[in-house]
C-alpha cells in the first residue's frame, strides 16, 4: 500500500538566509550553520544545526521516518519570486534595439506602430502550443536562476480570445512545470489596431471580457498600463472598477515614462503593487504607504531603455513602502531572464542595499502577489520553496553578476534541477 502521509525531511549543512520578518531576526535572517525540517510542501522548522535534534524530536511524531538531505554548504534562501513578467509572447524585438541605437526612442517606435503592437501581431499568429513552448523555455531559464514563483501577465493578445489564450498558457506553465504561477490580466496594455482612435471603446470591451476570463479561472489579478502612450487614469479606473466588481486585486504599470498620477489611483483601489515608478511623486508615495501597496522596481527596463530618472528609492524607504524587484521580462523593454542580475542592478543603479534587493525578490515580492503569509520567507508554516547557491553569504547574490550561482531549487519540498540535492 502506498504511504500517503507527507514525507518528513531534514535539510542539513546549509548556510541559511531565512529573510523572515519576525521580530528579533538578524540581517538576512542569517543562520551560518542552519538546518530546515520540512513536512510535505511546508516548512516545519528552521534554525541552527545544534538545535535541530531537539526540534525534530519535539515536532516529528514518534516512529515517523525522516529523510536526510545534505545541502553540502550551499547558501539557502527562500525560492526567488519574480513578481512581474510578460512571459507569454511570440517574436523578437531585437531590430528595435538596433533602431534605438540609431537614435529612435521607445516612445517613437511605439507611436509608429512598432513596440507592443508588433509583439501582438506575432503572438496572435502563433498557436497556443507554440506560445506554451516559448513561455516554458523562458520559465526554465528563470528557474535555473533560483525562481520558484512567477507572476505572468497577458497583454500581447488584446482581444477576448487572444488574451484568454495567453492566460491559459500561463496557467498551463503552473500545471506542467515545478513552478508556482500567478496570472495577471493586462488586457489594458496597449490599444490593438482594430480599435485605433477608439480607446474608450476598447476599455469598454476589456471590462466586458474580464468576467468571462475570471469565470474560466484564468485571472488572479488585474493590471493596466497607465501612461501617455497607453491608457489614461480615467480609463485605468474603469478597468479597476471591473476588477473590483469581480473581487480581483489590482496592480498598475505606473509612472514609468511620466507622472500621470496612476500610483495614487491604484493605491485608492488597494493595489497589491505599483510597478516601475521612475516618475513617482511625493503624493503617490504617501498614498502607497497608506494603502500598504508594494513599490515594484524594475531595474532591467530602466537599464535597457537607458532611462535617466531614478525611482525615488530614498523617499520610498523613508515612507516605509516595501520595495520589490522583478525582471519585467518582455521583448521590448527588458529581455532578461535573470532575477539575480536584477538584484545587482537594483543595488548599482537604484542604490538598494543587497539585503533590500534580496528581500525585494523574496518577502516583498510575495507581498506584491498577495502571498506574504505563505511564500517568500523560510519559516515554520511557509511553503518549502528554497534556492541553493554557490555562495558563502547572501550579500554575494547582489554582488556577483553575470555568473550562474544557483545549484538548484527545492519547490514544495521536492528537489528540482540538475544540481539539486538528492
Ligand atoms: N511597460 C513595460 O515595460 C512593458 N510593458 C509595459 O507596460 C513593455 C512592453 C513591450 O515593450 O513590449
Ligand atoms: Fe511590465
Does residue 184 have its Cβ closer than 6 Å to ligand 1? no
Burial label, 88 (beta-carbon count in 10 A; 0-12, 13-18, 19+): buried
Cβ–Cβ contacts within 10 Å for residue 27, how many?
Answer: 11
Q: How high is the pLDDT of residue 3?
A: 61
**314-326 burial by CB neighbour count: b if 16+ within 10 A, else e?**
ebbbeeebbbbbb
Mean pLDDT of the 402-420 span: 87
Mean pLDDT of the 369-386 span: 98
Contact 109, 115 (CB under 8 A): yes
- Which bound ligand lies closest to the C-alpha atom of 189? 1
Q: Pick the more confident residue, 235 or 229.
A: 235
**Distance in Å, CA 116 to ligand 1 centroid:** 7
Does residue 163 have its Cβ closer than 6 Å to ligand 1? no
Q: Does position 422 have pLDDT exceeding 60, yes or no?
A: no
Compute CA distances 28 → 128, 353, 406, whole Å. 41, 11, 18
Structure confidence by residue, pLDDT tens digits, 112-143 = 888 999 999 999 999 999 999 999 999 999 99
Does residue 225 have its Cβ closer than 6 Å to ligand 1? yes
Mean pLDDT of the 203-224 span: 98
Q: How high is the pLDDT of residue 57?
A: 97
**Distance in Å, CA 225 to ligand 1 centroid:** 8
Does residue 335 have its Cβ closer than 6 Å to ligand 1? no
Residue nearest ligand 1's atom 1 by CA: 253
Q: What is the pTM of this model?
A: 0.97
Mean pLDDT of the 239-253 span: 98
Q: How high is the pLDDT of residue 111?
A: 83
% pLDDT > 70, the chain: 98
Q: How high is the pLDDT of residue 264?
A: 98
Mean pLDDT of the 370-384 span: 98
Strand ranges inside 358-422, DSSP E: 386-389, 406-411, 414-416
Mean pLDDT of the 332-353 span: 98
Q: Name the band, by pLDDT with cuts 50, 70 and 90, for residue 417.
A: confident
Which atom of ligand 1 is the closest one to the Cα of 225? 7
Does residue 251 have its Cβ closer than 6 Å to ligand 1? no
Mean pLDDT of the 198-211 span: 98
Q: Name the band, by pLDDT with cuts 50, 70 and 90, for residue 107.
A: confident
Residue nearest ligand 1's atom 10 by CA: 332
**Distance in Å, CA 324 to ligand 2 centroid:** 14
Q: How high is the pLDDT of residue 178?
A: 97
Structure confidence by residue, pLDDT tens digits, 20-75 = 998 999 999 999 999 999 999 999 999 999 999 999 999 999 999 999 999 999 99
SS3 labels along 223-279: EEEECCCCECHHHHHHHHHHHHHCCCCECEEECCCCCCCHHHHHHHCCCCEEEECCC
Strand 323-325 with 294-297, pairing? parallel
Amino acid at each position: 500500500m502506498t504511504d500517503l502521509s507527507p514525507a518528513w525531511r531534514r535539510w542539513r549543512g546549509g548556510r541559511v538566509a531565512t529573510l523572515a520578518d519576525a521580530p528579533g531576526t538578524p540581517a538576512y535572517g542569517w543562520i551560518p550553520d542552519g538546518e530546515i525540517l520540512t513536512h510535505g510542501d511546508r516548512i516545519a522548522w528552521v534554525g541552527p544545526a545544534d538545535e535541530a535534534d531537539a526540534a525534530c524530536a519535539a515536532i516529528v511524531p514518534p516512529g515517523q521516518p525522516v529523510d536526510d538531505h545534505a545541502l553540502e554548504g550551499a547558501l539557502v534562501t527562500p525560492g526567488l519570486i519574480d513578481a512581474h513578467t510578460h512571459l507569454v509572447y511570440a517574436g523578437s524585438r531585437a531590430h528595435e534595439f538596433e533602431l534605438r541605437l540609431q537614435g529612435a526612442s521607445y516612445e517613437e517606435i511605439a507611436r509608429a506602430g512598432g513596440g507592443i503592437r508588433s509583439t501582438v501581431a506575432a503572438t496572435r499568429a502563433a498557436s497556443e502550443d507554440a506560445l506554451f513552448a516559448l513561455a516554458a523555455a523562458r520559465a526554465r531559464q528563470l528557474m535555473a536562476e533560483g525562481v520558484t514563483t512567477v507572476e505572468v501577465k497577458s497583454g500581447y493578445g488584446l482581444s477576448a480570445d487572444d488574451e484568454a489564450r495567453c492566460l491559459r498558457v500561463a496557467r498551463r506553465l503552473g500545471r506542467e512545470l515545478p513552478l508556482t504561477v500567478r496570472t495577471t490580466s493586462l488586457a489594458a496594455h496597449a490599444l490593438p489596431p482594430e480599435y485605433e482612435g477608439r480607446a474608450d471603446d476598447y476599455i469598454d470591451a476589456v471590462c466586458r471580457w474580464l468576467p468571462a476570463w475570471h469565470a474560466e479561472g484564468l485571472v488572479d489579478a488585474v493590471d493596466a498600463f497607465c501612461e501617455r502612450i497607453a491608457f489614461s487614469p480615467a480609463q485605468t479606473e474603469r478597468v479597476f472598477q471591473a476588477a473590483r466588481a469581480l473581487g480581483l486585486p489590482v496592480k498598475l504599470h505606473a509612472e514609468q515614462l511620466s507622472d500621470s498620477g496612476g500610483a495614487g489611483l491604484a493605491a485608492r483601489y488597494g493595489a497589491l503593487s505599483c510597478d516601475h515608478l521612475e516618475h513617482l511623486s511625493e503624493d503617490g508615495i504617501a498614498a502607497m504607504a497608506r494603502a500598504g501597496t508594494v513599490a515594484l522596481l524594475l531595474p532591467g527596463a530602466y537599464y535597457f531603455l537607458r532611462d535617466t530618472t531614478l525611482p525615488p528609492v530614498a523617499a520610498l524607504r523613508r515612507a516605509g513602502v516595501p520595495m520589490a524587484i522583478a525582471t519585467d521580462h518582455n521583448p521590448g523593454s527588458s529581455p532578461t531572464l535573470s532575477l539575480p542580475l536584477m538584484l545587482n542592478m537594483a543595488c548599482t543603479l537604484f542604490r538598494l542595499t543587497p539585503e533590500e534587493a534580496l528581500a525585494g525578490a523574496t518577502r516583498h515580492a510575495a507581498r506584491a502577489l498577495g502571498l506574504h503569509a505563505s511564500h517568500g520567507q523560510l519559516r515554520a508554516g511557509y511553503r518549502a520553496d528554497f534556492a541553493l547557491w554557490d555562495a558563502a553569504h547572501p550579500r554575494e547574490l547582489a554582488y556577483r553578476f553575470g555568473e550562474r550561482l544557483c545549484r538548484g531549487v527545492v519547490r514544495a519540498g521536492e528537489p528540482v534541477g540538475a544540481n539539486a540535492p538528492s
